[in-house]
Amino acid sequence: MVTSRRVLVLNGPNLNLLGKRQPEIYGHETLDDVEAQCRGVADKLELTLDFRQSNAEHELIGWLHGARETVAGIVINPAAYSHTSVAIMDALAACPCPIIEVHISNIHRREAFRHHSYVSHVATGVICGCGTQGYALALHRLAALFEKADQ
Ligand code: DQA
């Protein structure tokens, strides 16, 4: 059953290394810091969070299949799979809820191969280049969409 304010926050490959990996691009905050920020925002917005990370495409897809009938919204940073994975795009397309794609860095200012995201084809909205604050912005957007849907 879809729980009305339940949100899945999904993180793709290498985001477990946040804070250690290329800090000049991704900053010094760890994924635990990002989760703590998200939980703080979710509490204020009265959202229930399921926050996950995997380096494995099949695991991310399995979680998306599970989310289809259980969550009201998805925030996803698909990381490198944004640029390669038709399978993740298809799994998201099978989710009826709003989807906000987040990238910490501005992918359009980086290498050409990062300029295209398969996930953007099925995302409701895209936030990039706002650092880790992008996750909080995405949660605010979902909360606003839930409010609109309730009216
Ligand atoms: C990223 C951008 C991707 O191009 C990259 O592969 C990542 C992180 C970001 O958050 O800026 O791993 O999604």
| Residue 103 is among the residues annotated as catalytic for this protein | yes
Give me the count of residues in the chain.
Answer: 151
pLDDT in tens, 95-149: 999 999 999 999 999 999 999 999 999 999 999 999 999 999 999 999 999 998 9
Q: Give Cα 29 to chain centroid, integer Å.
A: 16
74 within domain boundaries: yes
Q: Give Cα 37 to chain centroid, integer Å.
A: 14
- What pTM value is reported for the model? 0.96
Indicate the top mutation candidate among 104, 113, 116 to test ligand 1's pocket, ranked by most ligand atoms within 8 A of CB: 104
Domain count, the chain: 1
Range of the domain at 106: 6-150
Q: Over 90: is that where the pLDDT of 2 sits?
A: no
* C-alpha distance from residue 120 to each of 64, 76, 82, 108 (Å): 16, 11, 8, 13
Q: Is 79 in the pocket of ligand 1 (CB under 6 A)?
A: yes
Q: At 107, which CATH number? A: 3.40.50.9100
Q: Give Cα 119 to chain centroid, integer Å.
A: 10
Q: Is 53 in the pocket of ligand 1 (CB under 6 A)?
A: no
1 within domain boundaries: no
